Structure 1
């Protein structure tokens, strides 16, 4: 492991290609900013050999509840968050959203306050950046491992306001709970990405809310979303995709009051699907089907990573309670399962969510561009893994 911080001049050489920067064989980074060769010509740069590597936009994980012994639901000490950020950087992640799930109102607010306290004092050179907080719930109708007794059934502006705190950037909710659209509109006007999730909405309700509210994102696609009878997105047995395809291809076969919101999401190609490509939350067959429909533009990798303790506790109760698969492994899975090539898999780890999440786009994430801060993942094509990341003036290499 090699970690070097606050390096003002970096020069990347010998890479295979750089996504977004065509016909470039050297990349200059000056004071954390990607700089043209002409602007950098007079300076001395530390050379970084990127042999066999593809230079890609840094991975962004928009749904991360914890990692190993760090659990964002349990007010982790700041050292554990520092350690988590370093581990993420070493696995290719340059930015992420700590995620808080449905719980008692006071506990959610306490968790938000705790993360904000950390953000105010943390150092950039520790590891992956915190983009902002993802609130997954409390306005939900399909629960998974969430506490059903804590879910709120009325999504109104009054009920929403206590949760709108500094640095909240994503809000996952069941859209059918907003009867007027006032709450969703408030979130959107405040640049908070509204993501469909944990929803028991029918196809009719889904269509109505997606069109009426202009919804464009979904959390952990297929999981905790109302589907259709006979179709399964998990397990090794056949997903029975034919029944799903038949309804997508023939509107008359859809029972709009019985079939679920996943059909509404699949039929709208502009909705970005956050998806956990671990083979557990969604099997290979369904992942490939989703990728063919959405393409790399709206197929957004995420991990839904949880602490080891919580994952094992849920498993002991026969429940899949979040993920244990890194973004690095999710990227590799797409390639090894022949869903797409490595360049497109790398794109799925950053660009789709950047196009939906305002703060990611505003800070130059999801792209390699002159004049933007360096948020870079180096993918070693020989070893099929992340070589490391460059985040501003800092490098984190395996």
Structure 2
């Protein structure tokens, strides 16, 4: 249950370190010290080359490994999603349900609880994306699945906050006054998404405890001269976290740069919004009886509208570093430390530091995933 890793290059979530030893006990990091300070004869696993960094955390994962969570809301589906995304450097995630029937959403919650009960440390909680949306901003969410919240919905969501980490994406303008405050008090993290809210409506939501914004720029009212909209409100919200899909299709690289420069440090999080094609041989899937196909790297429906993404987290990290021009250390934080902070898990995840869970990703010089560790357990994804 103990092991020592020797990393020639390590990013600990804050700074770069050279030739370090990471001591692991019972799945937790016990110490980090210069390799030269190891006692003589210490048995080590020498990683030799590559970069060791905190494992990635994805707070919006709709599917992977051939599973779309809405279509298979059970523990086996969750396990396959987690396994598929681990190969992309993601060591912890939130399975995400899009707008659907109450039965599907309740089944999804039980699936996550079952996966956690079976001891899968890669499952952090659940993200329920919908169904309380603005129809005009629904994207590919099915129109007849979108509805207004009732008191029993709010009571059920509030009950989840005591069971597991829960993120709810909703249109604030469709939530009765006091709803966000009640859910926040119950431990639910409420984000604005698929919304046509005005700037003032977002200000009011923030006053109730709005935690963040789901996939910035997509499915929300834009920033204009006289009405900042949800985009402007997000960029003007220093107390909120903002997710962004960096796949080269959802958001222009200049828009990502603008968001990164505008928001306070630590508030922009990479998310994948990934669908079932990640880690699967098939380049298509079905949702709501509609076929979604990968075309030139884009997941689109018959009308050509975007329907989630076909990327894993390492793809988002690479894109932000190589195409957007954000320094690598910051890209790694956007994929690990910042999502951990959003989830209030920054004392357990997102850093390589004593007392933290031993979740790591090892990357080569081309930012390809070589290995991952989850609670100290290693899995190799490419031959060295």
Shorter-normalised TM-score: what interval?
0.7 to 0.9
Report the Cα distance in structure 1 between the residues aligned to 2:76 and 2:177, rounded to whole angstroms. 43
Of 134, 145, 149, the match for 2:127: 134
Question: What residue number does 1:384 align with?
Answer: 367
1:115-167 Cα distance to aligned partner (Å, 9 max, x none): 3233322545xxxx00001111121113111122222224x544312344333
CA change 1:17–1:281 in 2 (3 A) is closer
> Superposition pairs for residues 221-232 of structure 1, below 5 Å?
221-228=216-223
CA change 1:110–1:37 in 2 (3 A) is closer
CA change 1:21–1:337 in 2 (3 A) is closer
The one of the two structures with greater contact order (alpha-carbon pairs below 8 A, sep at least 6) is 1
Report the Cα distance in structure 2 between the residues aligned to 1:263 and 1:21, rounded to whole angstroms. 31
Question: What residue number does 2:109 align with?
Answer: 112
Report the Cα distance in structure 2 between the residues aligned to 1:74 and 1:101, rounded to whole angstroms. 10
Gap regions ≥5 residues in structure 2: 278-284, 287-291, 294-298
- Which shifted more, 59-68 or 311-320? 311-320
Report the Cα distance in structure 2 between the residues aligned to 1:281 and 1:329, rounded to whole angstroms. 13
Answer yes or no: is the 8 Å Cα contact 1:269–1:293 preserved in 2: no
Matched residue of 2:132: which SS? Answer: coil
Structure 1 residue 23: Cα displacement: 5.4
Question: What residue number does 2:188 align with?
Answer: 192
Q: Is 2:148 the partner of 1:153?
A: yes
Answer yes or no: is the 8 Å Cα contact 1:376–1:391 preserved in 2: yes
1:44-63 Cα distance to aligned partner (Å, 9 max, x none): 5441314231x322100000
Answer yes or no: is the 8 Å Cα contact 1:74–1:111 preserved in 2: no
How high is the TM-score relative to the length of structure 1? 0.81
Q: How large is the Cα RMSD of the aligned pairs?
A: 2.5
Question: What residue number does 1:361 align with?
Answer: 346
Question: What residue number does 1:284 align with?
Answer: 253
Structure 1 residue 348: Cα displacement: 0.6
Matched residue of 1:337: which SS? Answer: helix
Answer yes or no: is the 8 Å Cα contact 2:130–2:170 preserved in 1: yes
Gap regions ≥5 residues in structure 1: 1-6, 229-243, 248-253
Question: What residue number does 2:9 align with?
Answer: 15
1:17-69 Cα distance to aligned partner (Å, 9 max, x none): 5444665622211222212268985995441314231x322100000010141
1:178-210 Cα distance to aligned partner (Å, 9 max, x none): 3321x2122212222111111111122222222
Question: What residue number does 1:234 align with?
Answer: none
Question: What residue number does 1:330 align with?
Answer: 316
Report the Cα distance in structure 1 between the residues aligned to 2:257 and 2:11, rounded to whole angstroms. 26
- Which shifted more, 10-19 or 199-208? 10-19
Question: What residue number does 1:215 align with?
Answer: 210
Report the Cα distance in structure 1 between the residues aligned to 2:251 and 2:187, rounded to whole angstroms. 29
Give the length in aligned residue pairs: 355
Answer yes or no: is the 8 Å Cα contact 1:277–1:333 preserved in 2: yes
CA change 1:338–1:176 in 2 (3 A) is closer
1:343-393 Cα distance to aligned partner (Å, 9 max, x none): 1111110122222212x335x01122112221112232x232222211112
Report the Cα distance in structure 2 between the residues aligned to 1:301 and 1:191, rounded to whole angstroms. 22
> Superposition pairs for residues 229-248 of structure 1, below 5 Å?
247=225
CA change 1:84–1:45 in 2 (3 A) is farther
Report the Cα distance in structure 2 between the residues aligned to 1:169 and 1:48, rounded to whole angstroms. 38
> Superposition pairs for residues 96-107 of structure 1, below 5 Å?
96-107=93-104
Q: Is 2:355 the partner of 1:371?
A: yes
Report the Cα distance in structure 2 between the residues aligned to 1:60 and 1:195, rounded to whole angstroms. 17
Matched residue of 1:14: which SS? Answer: strand
Structure 1 residue 262: Cα displacement: 1.5
Of 197, 205, 209, the match for 2:201: 205
Report the Cα distance in structure 2 between the residues aligned to 1:114 and 1:26, rounded to whole angstroms. 37
Structure with more helix by fraction: 1
